[in-house]
Amino acid sequence: MLGVKEKFLTVPEVAQKLNFSYITVYGWVKSGKLKSYNFNGSFRVTEKDFQAFVQAGKNNKLKVVRK
């Protein structure tokens, strides 16, 4: 369950932190690789889920969507 004071990141914020495109991060969200929550059509990622994703990514090769 989400805490009231849980910090959320937008998809563009996650993309900026990881230095990936918005489209790549959105693909991870849609595929379920990056856990997210939908608030009125806007996907958000908790800081905790973001950190877990980064840690898991160190052990796995991430698929990058190219233009």
How far apart are the C-alpha atoms of 67 and 39, rounded to whole Å?
28
Enumerate the domain spans of the chain: 8-59
pTM above 0.85, yes or no: no
In the chain, % helix, strand, coil (3-state, to 5) comes to 45, 15, 35
For the structural domain made of 8-59, what CATH number should be given?
A: 1.10.1660.10
- The answer for residues whose C-beta is within 8 angstroms of residue 39's C-beta and 6 or more apart is none
Position 6 scores a pLDDT of: 86
What integer is the mean pLDDT of 20-33? 94
67 pLDDT more than 70: no
- Distance in angstroms (rounded) separating the CA atoms of residues 11 and 60: 21
**Residue showing tokens 């996650």:** 14
pLDDT tens string 44-57: 999 999 999 998 87
